[in-house]
A and B are shown apart, each in its own frame.
Chain A
């Protein structure tokens, strides 16, 4: 199976604290991975390294078998890796269209001349509507300010934006933790839509039911080390939980 992204021998030290201890991690195209572990297991840290927020203390990241060094999230984005942060990197006071096009705005053409700084809101609105409809995201109006959307709708807009930005790998940090049951279902469906489009997804989550709903493979971190990396069909929630809390093996 070809590999999209590979992390080899990742160590991360914060002062004297060893957050990640020789972690290997890989993702294939159109694969959904559930990354689980207890608090302070190192999940967020590993993902932040992958997304270019932190540099690893030691270890390599390979994208398409080529070694890469990420100095900022923009470097990661340039190779198609997008991470959705806690505040979803959305601007609450701007509307859905503005947020979808943030960084990739379309400018108005007056008499065939490109007025680079004037926004072409009409065209962007139409494209946003079409795009959201394709993804079956239910939002009444793209001119609604993002702050007026529910948590699930905001997640959906945030995820939709990554597709817009031609991401190849999307990292979701606890995407379903703060939203309602009905909306959780929609977000999970959206994740499967991403997979259908050939985009890989890493979900960091505490919720076993969500992980087992969408993931192809499950990776467990415990106290900075990888303790499990297994296909979903070869395991059960109970076994995973045991690995998370370290009952089955006494690794410290």
Chain B
């Protein structure tokens, strides 16, 4: 019986975000009778498909023990590039931005994993760098595609009455989760975040794993850029910064440790949903935009505190279990 309770508590500690989602949903449902409608939930998922996709990539880097703050700029660059290519060729518009995103991630990874630069400062720098280049190339102007052709389907199409971006998000999420949990690369990724010295002692090239992680993040953000570009008629170069706080909040709320090695992509996806619910409730309740920003900021801070608290309680629980098992 005791062991069953232990496993239950462990499950709660590792996946409490699910209970938060349930609780918030119930509260929102009480506050607004429009909340529990299919249309509303489609809206939530659709609006948070792009931040959801990006969160998967950022979470991977954090799990590997790094951090990448340039995702907003990479997103903007890829989205603008996709909008630029779209009138010319559908195939190019869906492939080249993804390749570009991978390349920008590669640049980050090269500096961080091969040269050993500090990830926080480096990606802060590339965040500004990529954005600056984008501003120069676009002159700060909107880049407009046209909403003709198959490209439009990515952001606005529906399958079985479900918006296509949701399928993109679920696909990216599940593939990323599978990559991180079921493959050799994912195992080494977690190992790198937890104790990269162990990889060295086992004869595995840890810098290679680290570099690939940044490339994959860039690739995922590139996909997000394509989806984002298709959803909007025109893309402004400043579009990326809008997602900064939501993505970071989702990753932290999703229980990913900022030190690496701890966390799950599935929990991040649930956290994205939580943020979607909060955003949606604010709209349904008619909260003013500036107040919404304040609340988002508040949620971010609460997420950090909550993340720390979770880690603390997990550690306390671990020590208790160890002490008990010694008897």
Residues of A in contact with B (beta carbons under 8 Å apart): 73-74, 77, 85, 87, 89-94, 98-99, 102-103, 105, 107, 116-119, 147-148, 150, 180
Contact = CB atoms under 8 A, between A and B. Distances in A.
Given A94-B194, A119-B184, A89 B201 contact: yes
Nearest to A152: B326
Contacts of B203: 73-74, 77, 103
Contacts of B321: 148
B32 interface: no
A89 B184 contact: no
Nearest to B181: A119
Contact of A91 (B184, B185, B195, B322): B195
Given A91-B194, A94-B194, A119-B183, 9 more contacts: A91-B198, A91-B261, A92-B261, A98-B187, A103-B203, A105-B184, A105-B187, A107-B184, A118-B184
A93 B190 contact: yes
Interface in B253-276: 261-262
B191 A94 contact: yes
Contact of B190 (A74, A94, A107, A150): A94
16 contacts: A87-B197, A89-B195, A90-B198, A91-B190, A91-B195, A92-B195, A93-B190, A93-B193, A94-B194, A98-B187, A99-B198, A102-B199, A107-B184, A119-B182, A148-B322, A150-B325
Contact of B202 (A102, A118, A147, A148): A102
Contacts of A119: 182-184, 187
A89 B182 contact: no
Contacts of A180: 326
A109 to B, nearest CB: 14
A87 B183 contact: no
A118 B326 contact: no
Nearest to A85: B201
Interface in B224-269: 261-262
A90 B200 CA distance: 11
B72 to A, nearest CB: 28
Size category, B interface: 20 to 34
A102 B322 contact: no
Nearest to A98: B187
Contacts of B199: 102
Contacts of A74: 203
Contact of A92 (B183, B194, B322): B194
B326 A150 contact: yes
A102 B191 contact: yes
A85 B197 CA distance: 10
A77 B197 CA distance: 16
A133 B29 CA distance: 53
Nearest to A53: B201
A91 B206 CA distance: 13
B62 to A, nearest CB: 13
A73 B202 CA distance: 9
A93 B197 contact: no
B318 interface: yes
A74 B200 CA distance: 9
B120 interface: no
Given A77-B203, A93-B190, A150-B325, A102 B183 contact: no
B204 interface: yes
Interface in B292-327: 318, 321-322, 325-326
A93 B262 contact: yes
Contacts of A98: 187, 191
Contacts of A85: 197, 201
A89 B204 CA distance: 12
Given A117-B185, A119-B182, A89 B197 contact: yes
A70 to B, nearest CB: 13
A87 B187 contact: no
A93 B190 CA distance: 8
Contacts of B197: 85, 87, 89
A231 to B, nearest CB: 32
Contacts of A73: 200-201, 203
Q: Pick the most buried of B197, B199, B202: most chain A CB atoms within 10 A of its CB.
A: B202
Contacts of A99: 198
Interface in B34-86: none
A85, A89, A99 interface centre (most CB from chain B within 10 Å): A89
Contact of A103 (B204, B318, B326): B204
Contacts of B318: 147-148
Interface in B158-216: 182-185, 187, 190-191, 193-195, 197-204
A147 B203 CA distance: 22
Nearest to A107: B184
Given A93-B261, A94-B190, A150-B322, A102 B198 contact: yes
Contacts of B322: 148, 150
B97 to A, nearest CB: 26
Nearest to B261: A93
A90 B197 CA distance: 9
